[in-house]
């Protein structure tokens, strides 16, 4: 049972007040001593700490560790929440300035109520001036769900940015997150929600998509932070996604003391080496799986160029276990004839739901990588990354080869059902 539960009726704890514990600033509130801890944020490319994320820890009157949420729950009931939050913020700033010897950022997580306070920015700037910290050293992390979509909220965030603060959007990807939020607020940094990492760890298809989400954020002008990394697998996912910054107990626990700037450099190097091995092993496995299809497609193309009808030329290719279909494109990317499917193939229930898309004669695939890459470099076989097939909504890989025929340049393609292995398990 926490101290909050032991409050007698009518008890009013003392107002939150600043205190000192040696060289470390603290806040005393109702029997709790609240203090700052800092968890380093590392740049993957620089291989060093480039900032610290501040958070609170608490001890009760007996010196035992207590959840900081108990302190804030008590403050919320007593009407002291905003005041305690401001004191906590001053606490972080003061302790950060005391340990500062470089040019790292301080990441501060903001309460939505504080953000909507019109005097917040001025008070924060005044506090920084007293401590001799420029606002460019402070990253204000805005909760992803804070402020709704109100123009007033966007104006407040923009005003803080113009004052020199960096803006981070925290918890992106949780619940009702959408990319419009990023475009609306124009944050400097987007911090991905821990739930995204959990999903990527559990579901391979989500792990494949996550790098594209990071790429989209990069193209939108944001740096990307992935926190909550506790295992080597978490860290490898983050590195493979090409995030800019990482944070988590795998690299360093929160502490009252700063880390050496390059504390994680050796770990970063080891992760990079492990990632190279991981990617190489995956590429070898993929190449081994694709080899029969590549070889058979080359042979089918050679027969087709010599005048064998396309369906006959592709017989051996269609007999391979996971071949979904073969199809032929002209020099403009338009499909010649319908899809050629393996004989006796049973259409899945899922494919039947997409039956309007199954017949593709005359369809234009000119914008697809399997066409553009093949016509750019005729001769060798080109292979796509896994993607969602428009024919039946399964992940597939397409191998393609362009060759000159009596009818001009044509592209022969084969779709390989990339999910077939997992469905057979």
Query: CATH code at 318?
Result: 3.30.450.20
Residues 55 and 199 in one domain: yes
- At 285, the pLDDT band (50, 70, 90 cuts) reads very high
Contact 51, 64 (CB under 8 A): no
Mean pLDDT of 183-205: 85
Question: What's the confidence (pLDDT) of residue 194?
Answer: 86
Query: Is residue 415 domain-resident?
Result: yes
Residues 215 and 354 in one domain: no
Query: Is residue 272 domain-resident?
Result: no
Query: Is residue 214 domain-resident?
Result: yes
Residues 146 and 295 in one domain: no
Question: What's the confidence (pLDDT) of residue 122?
Answer: 87
Domain of 7, in residue numbers: 3-263
Structure tokens at 326: 């073969």
Indicate whether 372 pLDDT > 50.
yes
Report the range of poorest mean pLDDT among 121-125, 214-218, 372-376. 121-125
Q: Pick the closest to residue 31 from 55, 56, 64, 76 (CA basis).
A: 64
Report the range of poorest mean pLDDT among 119-123, 255-259, 409-413. 119-123
Residues 71 and 174 in one domain: yes
Query: Is residue 282 domain-resident?
Result: no
Question: What's the confidence (pLDDT) of residue 15?
Answer: 45
Q: Pick the closest to residue 366 from 375, 357, 358 (CA basis).
A: 375
Residues 297 and 224 in one domain: no
**Residue 334 to residues 300, 314, 365, 366, 413: CA-CA distances in angstroms?**
20, 19, 6, 7, 12
Query: Is residue 375 domain-resident?
Result: yes
Structure tokens at 400: 């393609």
Question: What's the confidence (pLDDT) of residue 71?
Answer: 87
- At 146, the pLDDT band (50, 70, 90 cuts) reads low
Structure tokens at 195: 């739930």
Query: Which of 245, 263, 281 lies at the terminal end of a domain, its last residue?
Result: 263
Residues 13 and 125 in one domain: yes
Report the range of poorest mean pLDDT among 35-44, 241-250, 350-359. 350-359
Structure tokens at 340: 């050629």
- Determine the Cα–Cα distance for residues 216 and 179; give it in Å rounded to an integer: 9
Query: Domain total for the chain?
Result: 2
Residues 222 and 335 in one domain: no
Residues 258 and 372 in one domain: no
- Determine the Cα–Cα distance for residues 382 and 19; give it in Å rounded to an integer: 67
Indicate whether 385 pLDDT > 60.
yes
Residues 180 and 329 in one domain: no
Query: Which of 263, 281, 315 lies at the terminal end of a domain, its last residue?
Result: 263
Q: Pick the closest to residue 301 from 397, 372, 406, 401 (CA basis).
A: 401
Query: Is residue 285 domain-resident?
Result: no
Residues 227 and 86 in one domain: yes
Mean pLDDT of 256-271: 90
Residues 243 and 304 in one domain: no
Q: What is the mean pLDDT of the chain?
A: 86
Query: CATH code at 224?
Result: 3.20.20.450
Mean pLDDT of 42-69: 91
What is the pTM assigned to this prediction? Answer: 0.83
Q: Pick the closest to residue 144 from 115, 119, 177, 122 (CA basis).
A: 177
Query: Is residue 387 domain-resident?
Result: yes
**Segment of 33-37, 81-85, 334-338 carrying the highest mean pLDDT:** 334-338
Question: What's the confidence (pLDDT) of residue 425?
Answer: 53
Question: What's the confidence (pLDDT) of residue 150?
Answer: 65
Look-up of token digits 């969602």: 388
Mean pLDDT of 92-111: 86
Question: What's the confidence (pLDDT) of residue 86?
Answer: 81
Indicate whether 111 pLDDT > 50.
yes
Query: Which of 223, 243, 263 lies at the terminal end of a domain, its last residue?
Result: 263
Residues 97 and 167 in one domain: yes
Query: Is residue 281 domain-resident?
Result: no
């Amino acid at each position: 049972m926490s101290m909050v539960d032991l409050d007698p009726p009518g008890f009013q704890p003392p107002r939150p007040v600043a205190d000192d514990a040696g060289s470390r600033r603290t806040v005393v509130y109702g029997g709790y001593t609240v203090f700052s801890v800092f968890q380093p944020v590392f740049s993957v490319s620089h291989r060093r700490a480039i900032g610290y994320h501040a958070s609170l820890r608490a001890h009760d009157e007996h010196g035992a560790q207590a959840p900081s949420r108990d302190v804030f729950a008590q403050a919320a009931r007593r009407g002291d929440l905003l005041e305690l939050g401001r004191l906590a913020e001053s606490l972080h700033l003061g302790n950060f300035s005391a340990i500062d010897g470089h040019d790292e950022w301080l990441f501060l997580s903001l309460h939505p109520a504080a953000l909507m306070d019109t005097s917040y920015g001025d008070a924060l700037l005044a506090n920084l001036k007293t401590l001799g910290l420029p606002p460019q050293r402070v990253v204000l992390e805005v909760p992803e769900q804070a402020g709704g979509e109100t123009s007033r909220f966007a104006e407040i965030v923009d005003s803080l940015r113009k004052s020199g603060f960096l803006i981070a959007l925290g918890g992106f990807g949780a619940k009702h997150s959408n990319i419009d939020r990023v475009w609306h607020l124009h944050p400097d940094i987007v911090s991905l929600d821990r739930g995204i990492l959990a999903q990527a760890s559990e579901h391979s298809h989500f792990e494949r998509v996550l790098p594209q989400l990071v790429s989209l954020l990069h193209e939108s002008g944001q740096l990307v932070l992935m926190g909550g990394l506790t295992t080597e697998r978490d860290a490898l996912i983050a590195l493979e996604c090409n995030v800019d910054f990482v944070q988590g107990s795998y690299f360093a626990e929160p502490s009252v003391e700063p880390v050496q700037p390059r504390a994680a450099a050796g770990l970063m190097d080891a992760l990079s080496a492990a990632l190279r091995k991981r990617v190489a092993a995956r590429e070898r496995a993929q190449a081994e799986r694709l080899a029969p299809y590549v070889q058979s497609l080359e042979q089918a193309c050679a027969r087709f160029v010599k005048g064998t009808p396309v369906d006959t030329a592709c017989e051996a290719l269609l007999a391979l276990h996971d071949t979904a279909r073969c199809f032929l494109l002209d020099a403009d990317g338009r499909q010649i004839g319908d899809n050629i499917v393996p004989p006796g193939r049973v259409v899945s229930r899922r494919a039947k739901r997409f039956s309007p898309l199954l017949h593709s004669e005359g369809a234009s695939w000119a914008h697809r990588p399997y066409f553009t890459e093949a016509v750019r470099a005729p001769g060798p076989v080109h292979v796509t990354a896994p993607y969602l097939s428009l024919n039946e909504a399964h992940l597939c890989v397409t191998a393609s080869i362009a060759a000159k025929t009596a009818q001009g340049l044509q592209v022969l393609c084969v779709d390989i059902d990339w999910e077939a292995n997992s469905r057979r398990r």
